[in-house]
């Protein structure tokens, strides 16, 4: 029997931490369970999670209504193995030794649930790939 390996930590970052990064974090927590530590944050967090995003996630059985946008800190980046940015550009701090991925995704801010669904589905597809990769 092998010793338990290091649990990978993933941080999702977008500008407002109210849409894309919240959906990504929720999908990863849902699909990977406690095998992965999951965080999300925003460079300029909104006051609340986008209601259309909450609704779109509810449609796939994931409730994020209790989530709140969090401010991005250097400590959160330092504590993460993989940092996935979603349109925060140069505002994301970069530390050596971290793996960075930049996911180009439409911003759901100000969009209705119909516009959020394809973004949600693309995020889920990418998260499923990431889960397989992290498990390998």
Per annotation, catalytic residue among 64, 88, 119, 127: 88
Per annotation, catalytic residue among 11, 13, 14, 25: 14
Per annotation, catalytic residue among 76, 86, 92, 131: 92
14 as an active site residue: the answer is: yes
92 as an active site residue: the answer is: yes
- Torsion sign across C-alpha atoms 136, 128, 100, 2: negative
42 as an active site residue: the answer is: no
CB 94 within 8 A of CB 100: yes
Give the distance from CA 84 to its chain's centroid. Answer: 7
Contacts (Cβ under 8 Å, ≥6 apart) of 132: none
d(CA 94, CA 13): 12
β-partners of residue 38 are: 10
Residues with a known catalytic role? 14, 88, 92
């Amino acid at each position: 029997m092998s010793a338990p390996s290091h649990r990978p930590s993933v941080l999702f970052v977008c500008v407002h931490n109210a849409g894309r990064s919240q959906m990504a974090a929720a999908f990863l927590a849902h699909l990977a369970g406690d095998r992965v530590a999951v965080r999300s944050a925003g460079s300029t967090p909104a006051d609340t999670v986008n209601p259309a995003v909450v609704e779109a996630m509810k449609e796939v059985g994931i409730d994020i209504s209790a989530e709140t946008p969090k401010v991005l800190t250097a400590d959160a980046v330092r504590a993460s193995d993989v940092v996935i940015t979603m349109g925060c550009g140069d505002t994301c701090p970069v530390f050596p030794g971290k793996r960075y991925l930049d996911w180009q995704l439409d911003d759901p801010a100000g969009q209705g649930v119909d516009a959020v669904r394809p973004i949600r589905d693309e995020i889920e597809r990418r998260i499923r790939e990431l889960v397989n990769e992290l498990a390998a």
